[in-house]
Chain A
Amino acid sequence: MDRRRFLLGTVPVAAAASMASAAAVSGSATPQTTYTPSYFTAAEWTFLKAAIARLIPSDGEGPGGNEAGVPEFIDRQMELPYGHGSYWYLKGPFADDSPPTLGYQLRFTPRDIYRVGIKSVNDECLKELGKAFTDLGAEQQNHVLRGLEAGTFKVAEIPGGAFFDQLLTNTREGYFADPQYGGNRDMVAWRWIGFPGARADFTDWIDQAGKRYPFGPVSISGRSLP
């Protein structure tokens, strides 16, 4: 028994079964059910999907953030201790002005950042551009996002850069994290870049440096794709 079989042998039976069925469908996409957000309101959800469509677009080569399930990932993260700020030190006092090199100094949890940030950006879009973010064209949406990133598109209640960083960070996480968290659906992002996921065994490759690694990804659930 080689090490990979040995290791995969430790996968629970149900997961092994799903791996077998996944192999049978040979990479075809799981039928998508409509996800109902738990934390985000309907308006926030629309905003989130629109922003993610700009951050990781669906047109052009490679999977888009929405197809990969990134909005679902972010919504589910909001319900976990992470969303509630349980990973961050959030005691005051809070500095109004601090050198960026000293890092995040706001009082907001990730949930707060989205709630306050989405409202602030939408309000500013209505004021400056006459439309909510979702109703803007793709180029105008890009303009707003670039402005938030650069700190030139100022919004009320929260530094735009902090909101943008949270959104971009969670978007990338959802794109590349194990599919169990709701994003990277069908390991699309791993297949796109060629990351073999949770394979975690390269005994057979130690002496083959420089050769193209030929195997597709495996998820933590045990699902394997070519």
Chain B
Amino acid sequence: MKAVDAVIVGYGWTGAILAKTLTDHGLSVVALERGPARDTSPDFEFPRIADELKHAVRGDLWQPLVNETVTIRHRAADTALPYRRYGSFVLGNGVGGAGVHWNGQLWRASPEDLRLRSRIEERYGKSFIPKDMTIQDYPVSFEELEPHFDHFEKVCGVSGKAGVLRGAKQAGGNPFEGSRSDEFPTPPLAAVYGAELFARSAAALGHHVFPVPAANSSIAYTNPYGVRMGPCNLCGFCERFGCFLYSKAAPQTTILPILANRPNLEVRTKAYVTKILTDSTGKRATGVVYIDAKGEEIEQPTDLVVLSAFQLHNVRLLLLSKIGQPYHPETGQGVVGKNYAYQMCSETAAYFDEDVQINPFIGAGAAGMRVIDDFNSDHFDHTTHGFVGGASIIAGATGGRPIDQMMLPPGTPRWGQAWKSATRKHYRHSAPVNSLGSVMSYRDSYLSLDPTYKDAHGFPLLRLTFDWHDNEYKMTAFIGQQMDAIVRGMKPAKQATLMMKPGMSYDTRIYQSTHTTGGAIMGSNPADSVINKYSQSWDVSNLFVYGASAFPQNIGYNPTGLLAGLAYYSAAKLRDTYLKNPGSLVDA
């Protein structure tokens, strides 16, 4: 293959962001995407998209596990087993990646999330952090990222309400957020009924309720690239679906339209990258190897590699390419695979009588929802609670999919006449309140290559070694108390909480969150991280790694806003500095 200036591995959100920057600059770019080409038309067209079985149950937009999955074990002494069917998380596939079928809850990190270890040590003392908890500060601050968060929100037409605007608190927004340079580009949608009941109850308890920042545009909108979006109609086919209305931000509805005809960009789909090549010094990437749709192995030489696959795949490719020192849990040495983290979620369900019309099918992935941030991050005093982190607490309807989202009170039989009667009694009259809780990083939670199981081409699968820790059980118990109180105030006929309790292991069968993080983390020196503040590999200076693999520990928010902010921050540095004078951007 003819050499190109840059190769992008994975054409989802961060791949699209970097493709724009690099082609703006005149570089010749090849984007390699393992899945198929996908666009709003024809792939997400109504009415075919409104098919729960095809998209939300079988997962036709997801990565086919038949070819490649991961293996999972709870501790290093166990033998990991394959994640054979979807459960705990769903992986993206194809152009747009998981950015096609995400919910669009677009959060910035809290300023204190980005300097978590320092903040906790300053406020509660060094001994507050358990010995095996390996949390780290980001090497970049909220203030440095803010212009890039702002830009990405404008690219996505995010609907929401500012809580802190240029240092001043605003009524109706999130009072705990970092100061914004600008208001959200589109106004929030009205709350769906479950969210309205939640908002009233939470406000009465003194909490600060605001609209979930939603990459579901609320009005007709033109983004800074001139791409037009349409208003969300709360269709109920959002989470797990592509958007047929050009309302949910996806690479297809925000960035890709302006890249479509660029002569210096070539997108190759069904290109399964297996290795990043380095020269004899191991310090310089020279190209990538991929397997094309015909099964042929192709080598694509380049001067710059953008690794922008999903978090787990980024880490696997680094390990397969033998770039960076793999992490060893016994010694704590090595960095690739270090600090894998997840999220701990819970649900408190409100079951109303049949005169309360929740209409759960009216909803979107993010629009129409309400949330509180009072118990997230370090927004409250943790002194007496004895844990680090917290959760956002959210209410609304991501859809009323009857196969997958039927809410029935605990104790309802799973089948038979009693089940059938309960589906009618509760389907239209139940509302969930959910928590999205942070998970810290630990010495024993990491990613490595599996010694036994292989993908369809014979390459080792990635292995996850992960289980819950006391800190998170305490966090979720505390959050559960807050949720119970809020739901009680919604005055349902019945309520029930589903949450993790000490002794319960990570259960891969139940969907919890696709927000897997870490493994190629960002830090201030090569001894504790894989990439520097500009997402540049410490080991290979012409390799940049994007996505939630950079997070040193997880947050109590959806990750897309943060990972896109980090990508735009890096893209600006590439444009202004690196491309003029390639080399290490931070001295090791």
Contact = CB atoms under 8 A, between A and B. Distances in A.
A173 B53 contact: yes
A196 B237 CA distance: 12
Contact of A194 (B50, B85, B427): B427
Contact of A205 (B53, B234, B505, B509): B234
Interface residues of B, number: 68
Interface in A176-193: 176-178, 181, 189-190, 192-193
Interface string A191-210: 01111111111110111011
Contacts of A210: 193, 196, 356-357
Given A10-B46, A220-B48, A194 B508 contact: no
Given A193-B427, A194-B428, A176 B403 contact: yes
Contacts of B51: 177-178, 198, 220
Contact of A104 (B85, B357, B416, B505): B85
Interface in B417-460: 417, 419-421, 423-424, 427-428, 452-454
Interface residues of A, number: 66
B334 interface: no
A54 B420 CA distance: 11
B193 A220 contact: no
Contacts of B359: 205, 209, 212-213
B420 A62 contact: yes
B403 A86 contact: no
Contacts of B192: 209
B183 interface: no
Given A11-B47, A62-B424, A222-B47, A177 B53 contact: yes
Contact of B424 (A57, A85, A99, A193): A193
Nearest to A200: B235
A87 B53 contact: no
Contacts of B235: 200-202
Interface string B35-58: 000000000011110111100011
Given A101-B508, A104-B84, A195-B402, A57 B47 contact: no
B469 interface: no
Contact of A203 (B47, B233, B368): B233
A90 B236 contact: no
B84 A60 contact: no
B362 A202 contact: yes
A134 interface: no
B65 to A, nearest CB: 5
B478 interface: no
A213 B417 contact: no
Given A55-B416, A60-B417, A89-B66, A173 B57 contact: yes
Main SS of the interface on chain A?
loop
Interface in B148-199: 189-193, 196
A211 B191 CA distance: 13
A137 interface: no
A61 interface: yes
B81 A62 contact: no
Nearest to B194: A209
B428 A3 contact: no
Contact of B415 (A10, A54, A220): A54
Interface in B357-379: 357, 359, 361-362, 368
B196 A59 contact: no
Contact of B414 (A7, A168, A212): A168
B66 A86 contact: yes
B84 A105 contact: yes
A54 B414 CA distance: 12
B84 A177 contact: no
B64 interface: yes
B72 interface: yes
B79 A95 contact: yes
B321 to A, nearest CB: 23
Contacts of B414: 149, 168
Nearest to A86: B66
Contacts of A189: 402
A71 to B, nearest CB: 15
Given A177-B403, A196-B361, A201-B233, A101 B509 contact: yes
A41 interface: no
A87 B85 contact: yes
B69 interface: yes
A82 B424 contact: no
Interface string B195-233: 010000000000000000000000000000000000101
Nearest to A167: B415
B59 interface: yes
A54 B46 contact: no
Given A62-B420, A202-B235, A10 B72 contact: no
Q: Residue among A11, A206, A210 with the most chain B CB within 10 A?
A: A206
B74 A195 contact: no
Nearest to B70: A89
Contact of B421 (A61, A206, A209): A61
A213 B244 CA distance: 22
Interface string B552-579: 0000000000000000000000000000
A173 B191 CA distance: 30
A103 interface: yes
B507 A173 contact: no
A34 B200 CA distance: 53
A89 B84 contact: yes
A25 interface: no
A41 B44 CA distance: 37
B87 interface: yes
Contact of A190 (B47, B234, B402, B419): B402
A63 B463 CA distance: 45
Interface string B316-336: 000000000000000000000
A172 interface: yes
Contacts of B357: 210-213
Given A86-B66, A91-B82, A178-B51, A192 B46 contact: no
Contacts of B420: 56-57, 60-62, 192
B84 A55 contact: no
B387 interface: no
- Interface pairs A-B: 10 shortest CB-CB: A198-B50, A200-B235, A209-B193, A176-B402, A177-B53, A193-B427, A60-B417, A101-B507, A89-B69, A55-B415
20 contacts: A55-B416, A59-B417, A61-B424, A89-B84, A90-B84, A91-B453, A102-B73, A103-B83, A105-B82, A142-B416, A177-B53, A192-B424, A193-B406, A198-B46, A200-B236, A201-B233, A202-B234, A206-B189, A211-B357, A222-B47
Interface of A: 3, 7, 10-11, 54-57, 59-62, 82, 85-91, 93, 95, 98-105, 142, 145, 149, 168, 171-173, 176-178, 181, 189-190, 192-203, 205-207, 209-213, 218, 220, 222
Given A61-B421, A172-B403, 12 more contacts: A88-B84, A99-B505, A101-B505, A102-B73, A173-B53, A177-B403, A196-B361, A198-B51, A200-B46, A202-B361, A209-B192, A210-B356
